[in-house]
Amino acid sequence: MENRRKWLGAVGLGVSASLVLGACAPPGGDGSDSGNSVTWIVNQPGNGWNHNTPEGGSVYGIQFLHDVLPYTGYWGPDSEWYWNEDLIVNEPELLSEDPMSWELEIHPDAAWSDGEPIDADDFIWAWKMNSGDEDLCADNCNSRGTTLPSKFESVEGSDDGKTVTITMKEGELFPEWFVFGEDGLYPSHLVADQFDLDTPEGMLESSNWFNENQPTVSGSRYVMEEGAELDGRVIKTLNEEYWGDKPEIGEIILQVNTEEGSWVPALQNGEVQGASPATWSDDVINQLDGIEGVEYGVNPGASWEHMDVNMKHDWLSDEALRHAIFTALDVENIATRTYGDNFPDITPRTNHVFSESSPFHEDVITELGHGSGDIDAAVEILEDAGYELDGDSLTRDGEAVPPIRIGYTAGHVAREIIAELAQADLAEIGISLEIDTTNDLGGTLAEGDFDIMLYGWSTTPDFASSPEQYWHSESGSNFGHLDVEEVDEVAVKAQNTSSPEEAAEHANEAARLVAEEAYVLPLVDTPTFYFVDTNYVDNVEDNNAQSRRALWNQHEWTAVD
């Protein structure tokens, strides 16, 4: 008996000692002992290492790769374009408009961490990869976006590859020509040894290779450590070979964490130091309130909510009915009820292409009375069009307007609130809305299986291709089947100019026409939030103009002693 007690005592002592010693792990950096280490939450896994592909080009993939791949420039929090002066010297300007052409001068010291220079070959690889030209890249190299590079006639190097000249095809113009290379360039020399990049098949193989292998060399401030996991953890440390100024934060650990309920506990426990998640959460924001040393901010995000009408619907094909519906909706109330609790400054969105903070923004909604919640005006529109409102029932030529389905992604809290508020508003004009949620938003939209749909678009400050994508009669993303020749024309014009100002004029014109058709009603900019433990790191700033969000200026973050 005595022996057993001694044995149990020893086990108890061992367990206690383990826990006490275990408690000696330093706070911050997820237990790492590296100096100036910051662990940052990424709220979804990435699926590939090549950001030019759909798998790798998610917000999360781009966040993993940020500041490992050299980038030509970026959109600042003020939605202005800035060149990355560490990589591109002498601000590029257009050389000619016919054909459109410009030159990029690469920093003479710019080199990959393995010693190879960053040069024109890396730009040429990026062009072929996204050219959408089967003669340059088989299966389009599985590119996720070919809009700009598909307009290039050539990308050529000179001065030992340190000057890149890009020339567009005859007659082609594009106002946002400067964004080529903004997500980062790949080290083409790594694939040039393995594949024949002059053949479409070789290019496809190289694209796949970059997608399957994490970058081992860096052309920017940080280098990615081996063993990075797209669905787990990516560790970035200083690139000792970087030719520019070194960041103060020596190690950035990007930790995938899909469970928002665990973010604040992990922050309080020193396991993470911050996040700028892609999703909105009132719960998380409420938990952050009052935690000492934790700074958080809420801002209008890059996504915006809107209500789309299916123009092929028997009743909704009537423009008057659509106008009445949009007029009866009280969007101010919708904005307040959805995001107002934690973002009291929220206002209705009044342009499809530009948010209010954009210098190109024009209000195309208010003058039409859409979103005003003016029931009298809505009833007048209906009566002028031959409808009769008798109590709760709306009829036209003796036929009652049937219930109309309103769809949204099942479980989306904000859209559920919007749908319920819309039900109440439209009941006032005799229209019954039936909520019809979907688990497959993309599929439902693609099949056109909806009457009215609530969903969101993501935007960046480059806007020129948006009108065509949203509303051109031949666009696969024009889910409600708007077919207006004038809209098609201005949407195409928005892309075919070298001037951003002129493109914005066309985009605003397209938005105005779409509003006049009562096809899409913009509702609100979905707010985003970020939080950071300023006990460990400072100078963090969110940036909704970029997919990188608060990570955009990680090189400017400062460590707190």
Residues 17-46 that bind other proteins (CB under 8 A): 18-25, 27, 29-34, 39, 45
Residue 231 or 383: the one with the smaller Cβ distance to other proteins is 231
Return the residue of 135, 240, 259, 397 that touches other proteins, per CB under 8 A. Answer: 259
Rounded (5°) CA angle 190-195-201: 130
Question: Cα separations (Å) of 128 from 135, 139, 143, 198, 223?
Answer: 9, 12, 10, 10, 25
CB of 69 to other proteins, least distance (A): 17
- Please give the residues from 128 up to 167 whose contact with other proteins meets the rule CB under 8 A: 132, 134, 139-140, 142-147
- Shortest approach of other proteins to residue 145 CB, angstroms? 5
Task: For the segment 266-305, give every residue that binds other proteins (CB under 8 A).
Answer: 266, 268-272
Question: Which of 85, 98, 231, 245 is in the footprint of other proteins by CB under 8 A?
Answer: 231
CA distance 8 to 25: 27
Which of residues 97 and 440 has its CB atom nearest to other proteins in the complex? 440
Shortest Å distance, C-beta 402 to other proteins: 27
Fill in the DSSP letter of residue 159: T
**Is 255 or 528 the residue whose CB approaches other proteins more closely?**
255
Residue number with CB closer to other proteins (173 or 266) = 266
Q: Which helix (H) or strand (E) holds 407?
A: strand 404-407
Q: Is 322 helix (H, G, I), strand (E, B) or coil?
A: helix
| Residue 545: CB minimum distance to other proteins, A | 15
Sign of CA dihedral 169, 173, 176, 178: positive
- Using CB under 8 A, which of 9, 12, 35, 265 touches other proteins? 265
Q: Which is nearer to other proteins, 147 or 165 (by Cβ)?
A: 147
Among 305, 261, 544, residue whose Cα is nearest residue 414: 305
In the complex with other proteins, the residue whose CB is nearer, 290 or 476, is 476
Which residues fall within 8 angstroms of residue 8, CB to CB, at 6 or more apart? none
Q: Decide: is 509 part of the binding site for other proteins (CB under 8 A).
A: no
Q: How far is the CB of 207 from other proteins (least distance, A)?
A: 11
Q: Quick one: angle between helices 200-212 and 120-129, nearest 10?
A: 100
Cis amide prior to 99 (ω within 30 degrees): yes
Joined tokens for residue 267:
């922050």
Q: How far is the CB of 255 from other proteins (least distance, A)?
A: 7
Near other proteins in 42-81, by CB under 8 A:
45, 47-49, 53-56
Size of the site for other proteins (CB under 8 A): 73
Q: 3-class SS at 415?
A: helix
Report the distance separating Cα 187 and Cα 497, nearest Å. 31
Report d(CA 155, CA 139) in Å as an integer. Answer: 21
Q: In the complex with other proteins, which residue's Cβ is closer, 54 or 402?
A: 54
- Per rule CB under 8 A, is residue 10 in the interface with other proteins? no
C-alpha 83/C-alpha 451 separation (Å) is 44
The answer to whether residue 235 forms part of the interface with other proteins (CB under 8 A) is: yes
Q: Which residue, 343 or 455, has its beta carbon nearer to other proteins?
A: 455
Which C-beta is closer to other proteins: that of 20 or that of 344? 20
Name residue 41's amino acid.
I
446: left (phi over 0), alpha (psi -120 to 50) or beta: alpha
Based on the shown chain and the rule CB under 8 A, indicate whether residue 481 belongs to the binding site for other proteins: no
Q: At what angle do helices 413-427 and 331-339 cross, to 10 degrees?
A: 150
Nearest-approach distance from CB 521 to other proteins, in angstroms: 19
Report CA-CA distances (Å) from 446 to 306, 480, 535: 17, 9, 48
Interface with other proteins (CB under 8 A), residue from 357, 475, 496, 534:
475
- In terms of CB distance, is 21 or 397 closer to other proteins? 21
Residue of 258, 347, 473, 558 that binds other proteins (CB under 8 A): 258
Judged by CB under 8 A, the residue of 458, 473, 499, 558 near other proteins is 458
Pairing state between β 274-275 and 294-309:
unpaired
Extract the tokens encoding 418. 């919007």
Q: What angle do CA 275, 280, 283 make, to 5 degrees?
A: 90
- The two beta strands, 520-533 and 294-309, are antiparallel
d(CA 141, CA 172): 23
Contacting other proteins within 88-117 (CB under 8 A): none
Least separation in angstroms between CB 141 and other proteins: 9
Measured from the CB atom, is 389 or 491 closer to other proteins?
491
**250 belongs to the binding site for other proteins (CB under 8 A):** no
- Cβ nearer to other proteins, comparing 26 with 108: 26
Q: Is 262 among the residues that bind other proteins (CB under 8 A)?
A: yes
Nearer CB in complex with other proteins: 150/220: 150
Task: Establish if 440 lies at the interface with other proteins (CB under 8 A).
Answer: yes
Identify whether the C-beta of residue 433 lies closer than 8 Å to the C-beta of residue 328: no
Choose the stretch contacting other proteins; rule: CB under 8 A; options: 12-20, 183-191, 526-534, 537-545. Answer: 12-20
Chain-centroid distance of CA 383 in Å reads 42
DSSP character for 45?
-
- Residue 183 CB, nearest distance to other proteins (Å)? 13
Contacting residue, 257, 342, 528, 543, with other proteins by CB under 8 A: 257
Q: Among 296, 238, 297, which Cα is nearest to 267's?
A: 296
Q: Of these, 439, 474, 485, 561, which contacts other proteins (CB under 8 A)?
A: 439
- DSSP helix, strand, coil percent of the chain (3-state; round to 5): 30, 20, 45
Task: Give me the residue label for tokens 């997820």.
Answer: 30
Stretches 84-92, 240-248, 265-273, 511-519: which one binds other proteins (CB under 8 A)? 265-273
Could you say which residues in the range 191-220 bind other proteins, by CB under 8 A?
208, 211-212
Looking at beta carbons only, is 39 or 543 nearer to other proteins?
Answer: 39
